[in-house]
Homo-oligomer: A and B are copies of this chain.
Amino acid sequence: MTAAVHPDRLLPADPAARRVARDLYGTVAAAPIFSPHGHVDAALLAADEPFTDAASLLVTPDHYVTRVLHSVGVGLAELGLGPDGATADPRAVWRRFAEHWQAFLGTPTRLWLEAELTDILGVRTPLTPETADAVFDEVGARLAEPEFRPRALFRRFGIETLATTDDPAADLAAHRALAADPAFDGAVLPTFRPDGYLDPALPGFAAAVERLGAAAGLGTSGYDGYLDALRSRRQHFVDHGATAADHGPPDPGSAPLPPSDAARLYQRALTGGLDERDAAAFRRSMLFEMARMSTEDGLVMQLHPGVLRNHHRPTYRAFGPDTGHDVPLTTTYAAHLRPLLEAFGTDPRFRLVLFTVDETAFSRDIAPLAGFYPSVYIGSPWWFLDAPEAMLRWRAATVETAGFYKSAGFVDDTRAFCSIPARHDLARRVDAAYLARLVVEHRVAEDDAARVLHDLVTTLPRRVFARS
């Protein structure tokens, strides 16, 4: 048995704390999974085609994995990425991965992959450079079985609700098909992700806006038309079950422009005539408008700001986005969000979940905001911070100010379908470990801790991410 699948993994070393943590974890280990933010494609479940092999299931599409391999010297094309990657032999990709398996020691990616290989795929052979082929073959055989198709796994994972991330112009056909399919009883909900339609600094803004107008069937010839088209597409998402809109701007600025100024900048943005400063002003004003629309249509606003995307542009040009070189930026929230929160922060129809990859904001900005505004919830540690040590830091930095009941529940944010249960399991273990320490240090009573853990896993996500 490898380390990662020990039944007590991630529980505290101290024997008394471990006993408490084990009991706490046991109460939620099998709870259904509520996944309010992720990047799995609904078409995967609609089509329900079998996965083909270990490399294209676990390595090539997961930038958490390819990034680490790249960092130790493996080229992205060797891993199946980019135009040259299309011809890469999956077995060769898997061998490269196995060769550098030790590079993942200490990372959550290794823990997830070990759990996936062992718990989901039933592989008992520990992965080493020598066993790479055997493991590849074993996984391949397993994936050919019907119970390893996407829908069967969806059921086995115990997923109650899965939110995807979708383009505002998307038709959402796969979501519609799944909802209409009597053979599929899971909830797969779209999420409205309009970044590319709100930020004139992003490439292709004008074309995006045109697509939006076409999708809305309204046109977007003026600023009001543009707002109407956004409103219409949000409604389309609501009609398909969406409960949230997701926003990932470079900063959480939210100062609204006077409508006439916004209209003027909008027109200039369409012809590419905005400088950096004006583009940012327009983008921030649009975040304010999105908050306003959220109060109207009830879509929960998820805010994930502060990432410098595609840091290495040569790699971006060769391999596209999401190839492992997005880097967090220093991010502050208090002043940036003031306009938005002064306008909507105490509105009972509004809900805002704040995420960050700059963890200095946990205790300084996010917990104090969530500790006052009834609309504001603390998003779980995300991306680089979706990891045991970072999760413990996050709890320690936010609970003392805002309590447990202003956190929003775990978000897996993954495009690696099979990592969903492994990620939720890890989060549950870490929360059990955190609470167990509070119990043995006589800071929280054990029955209170059990109630909190249940609420973190079940009650809070259902409540926070429901459309208001």
A: residues with CB less than 8 A from B are 2-4, 6, 8-17, 67-68, 70-73, 102-108, 111, 308, 311-315, 324-330, 332, 334-335, 338, 341-342, 345-346, 348, 357-360, 363-365, 367-374, 376, 384-385, 387-390, 393, 396-397, 399-406, 437-445, 448, 451-452
Interface-centre pick from A16, A17, A402, A403 (highest chain B CB count, 10 A): A403
Determine the distance from Cα of A438 to Cα of B12 in the docked complex, in whole angstroms: 10
Contacts of A73 in B (CB 8 A): 348, 374
User: If A4-B443, A103-B405, A334-B311 touch, does A400 touch B108 (CB 8 Å cutoff)?
Assistant: yes
Oligomer: number of copies: 3
Establish whether residues B443 and A10, one from each chain, have CB atoms under 8 Å apart when the complex forms: yes
Establish whether residues A3 and B371, one from each chain, have CB atoms under 8 Å apart when the complex forms: no
Interface-centre pick from A3, A71, A103 (highest chain B CB count, 10 A): A71
Question: Shortest beta-carbon distance, A124 to chain B, in Å?
Answer: 15
Determine the distance from Cα of A112 to Cα of B70 in the docked complex, in whole angstroms: 38
Determine the distance from Cα of A129 to Cα of B285 in the docked complex, in whole angstroms: 43
Question: Shortest beta-carbon distance, A343 to chain B, in Å?
Answer: 9
A sample of 23 inter-chain contacts (CB < 8 A) reads A3-B444, A4-B443, A9-B442, A10-B442, A12-B13, A68-B371, A68-B403, A71-B373, A102-B405, A102-B451, A104-B403, A106-B444, A107-B402, A308-B334, A312-B342, A324-B371, A325-B373, A327-B368, A327-B369, A330-B332, A389-B396, A389-B400, A390-B400
Establish whether residues A341 and B368, one from each chain, have CB atoms under 8 Å apart when the complex forms: no
Determine the distance from Cα of A35 to Cα of B376 in the docked complex, in whole angstroms: 34
Contacts of A359 in B (CB 8 A): 360, 363-364
Establish whether residues A346 and B314, one from each chain, have CB atoms under 8 Å apart when the complex forms: yes
Contacting residue for A9 out of B103, B313, B402, B441, CB 8 A: B441
Contacts of A439 in B (CB 8 A): 3
Contacts of A327 in B (CB 8 A): 334, 365, 368-369, 372
Interface-centre pick from A312, A368, A376 (highest chain B CB count, 10 A): A368
Establish whether residues A365 and B328, one from each chain, have CB atoms under 8 Å apart when the complex forms: yes
Determine the distance from Cα of A363 to Cα of B452 in the docked complex, in whole angstroms: 28
